[in-house]
Amino acid sequence: MVKVVIVGGVAGGMSAATRMRRLDESAEIVVFERGAHVSFANCGLPYYAGGVIEDRDELLLQTPESLGARFRLDVRVRSEVVSIDADARTVTVRDLESGNTYVESYDELVLSTGASPIVPPLPGVERALILRDVEDVDRLVGQMETARSAVIVGAGFIGVELAENLRHRDLDVTVVELADQVLAPLDPEMAAPVADRMRQNGVNLELGTQLTRIDATTADLADGRTVPADVVVMAIGVRPETALAKMAGLKLGERGGVAVDDQMRTSVPHIFAVGDTVEKHDAIGDSAALIPLANPANRQGRLVADVIAGRPVHARSSSGTAVVGVFGLVVTATGWNEKRLRAAGRPYRAIHTHPQSHAGYYPGAQQMSIKLLVDPETDAILGAQAVGGDGVDKRIDIIATAMAGGLTASDLADLELAYAPQFGSAKDPVNMLGYIADNLRTDSTRTVQWHELDTLVADGASLVDVRTADEFAAGAIPGAVNVPLDELRDRVGELPAGDLVVHCQVGQRGHTAVRLLGQLGRPAANLDGGYKTWDAGRRVNAPATVS
């Protein structure tokens, strides 16, 4: 009979424990959890804080009693493992209720200690809250009962979720973010609509600055301004919780997480690690990465149980697919973004589209924005982002699945996806990305990016807007000449000499114009994503006000 000790519950730890029981009824399985709850919906914490989830008990998925009854697990909450003796195969445990310590033996040990929130050493920071477990959200809800304002430090996934939910509680919310955009996994032009939506819903965004001090009811910014702050929540990010691993002599990786192989084995025999505490293998960079997401943690928990049970399984690389809701917007990403590719010096090709969520003639279609990043040599998909309403999550999941299956960007054109007018289009937005990728791969068209346009114009290129006169009058890129697409054949002689860049609203008419002009002896490039993408990029650092 094997004895498995698991340190830490929630996603990775409890997935390992329950899977282990399903595989081996005779195993002795002990779970130590430092907190009061071993299985809870941590991704639901912001929504309980905002009152969207009304019943606190809905967050509590399992209890030690229920896990004992169904899976015969020995779950001990408020029990902190303080040291590991790898040679003796024992752990020392402190009972946080009594303060007593004792020693527990193991045959196989699984560390699922997670990641801890980053809290900078600011004056007054002891007043700031974090949001990691149920006790944290209880403290937040308690403070909100008498609060009128809140400051959230960090505009990542948790930060923007909290901003929405605290606005739902009618608090005046300020989000302070050191970067010049919200949601770092997005590129700037994709993040701009998210920032717009947050401001439209009353969130004060302080981008490109940081907190320097927290006082009783206010907080100071680096530029000297003060913002109201009855409640302060730190949502800067997390780092792997590795103190126990380091004490046990486990090797850490280059990113600071526990180093594991593809069977979740650490550098010390009979000790495994899973979840947010470990480094994953990045599917795009073929390197170590920190990816603190629920899906990989759950998958690794199941996998480590399989390994302990003797099954020949191996972890796959991770692309970090994620989704967040922001005041009705659905925001998604997978793989690498353009910023990261440029920083790594890796060649790429970018594609922007702005399709409808389903057939435009069927009521209720919503526009979305999609960005696909492609290796120009191999046509491999390097990453994608999508922002919009209905159907955005479906599209990013299709792309993430295509990446996992090794499909190229051009292969997306051939995916046979479910279609009815209320659900999609005969040429689904994912198919359209494949068509564009194939056009670029075969040199059927040439595109330029929104951030390249100023340089091209400065070097002498002329910009031709092929939208209608009414569209042009409603808003145009400075210096553009308006020649509507339907008049282009007859007016080609009016176009300026030299290099041409054409654009429309979202890119589709621009592509048609490029094909036409090329056959009329005037080669041109299409502004990828059209006016809509250029406008979003232009607004990244523009001054903005709160509605």
Helix (H, G, I), strand (E, B) or coil at 246: helix
- The pTM of the full predicted model, rounded to 2 decimals, is 0.94
Residues 6+ apart with CB under 8 A from 406: none
Instruction: Confirm whether 504 is a catalytic residue.
Output: yes
pLDDT band at 10 (very low <50, low <70, confident <90, very high): confident
CB 68 within 8 A of CB 76: no
Residue 30 clears pLDDT 80, i.e. is over it: yes
Helices (H), 248-359: 294-308, 338-343
Q: Residue 512's closest CA among 490, 495, 535, 489?
A: 489
Which residue, 26, 107, 114, 80, is CA-closest to 271? 107
- Flag whether pLDDT at 542 surpasses 60: no
pLDDT tens profile 523-539: 999 999 999 999 999 88
Considering only 38-42, 48-52, 128-132, 408-412, which range has the smallest mean pLDDT? 38-42
Q: How far is CA 94 from CA 99, 134, 381, in A?
A: 6, 21, 48
Of residues 322, 373, 403, 504, which has the active-site annotation?
Answer: 504
The pLDDT > 90 percentage for the chain reads 94
Average pLDDT on 346-357 reads 97
What is the token pair recorded at 442?
């075969």
| Rounded mean pLDDT, 129-139 | 94
Mean pLDDT of 469-493: 96
* pLDDT score at 547: 42
Whether the pLDDT of residue 118 is over 90: the answer is yes
The per-residue pLDDT of the chain, averaged, comes to 95
Long-range pairs for 449-457: beta carbons < 8 A, 24 or more residues apart: 449/350, 449/528, 450/189, 450/527, 450/528, 450/529, 450/533, 450/534, 450/536, 450/537, 450/538, 451/537, 453/477, 453/501, 453/527, 453/534, 456/499, 456/501, 457/501
Return the pLDDT at 546: 45
Helices of type H across 154-293: 157-168, 188-200, 243-247
Give the pLDDT confidence score for residue 155 in this predicted structure: 97
Give 198-236 pLDDT, tens digit per residue.
999 999 999 999 999 999 999 999 999 999 999 999 999
Residue 393 buriedness (CB in 10 A; 0-12 / 13-18 / 19+): middle
Exposed, middle or buried by CB within 10 Å (0-12, 13-18, 19+), for 478? exposed
pLDDT tens figures, 244-301 = 999 999 999 999 999 999 999 999 999 999 999 999 999 999 899 999 999 999 999 9
Asked whether 233 and 49 are in contact (CB, 8 A), the reply is no
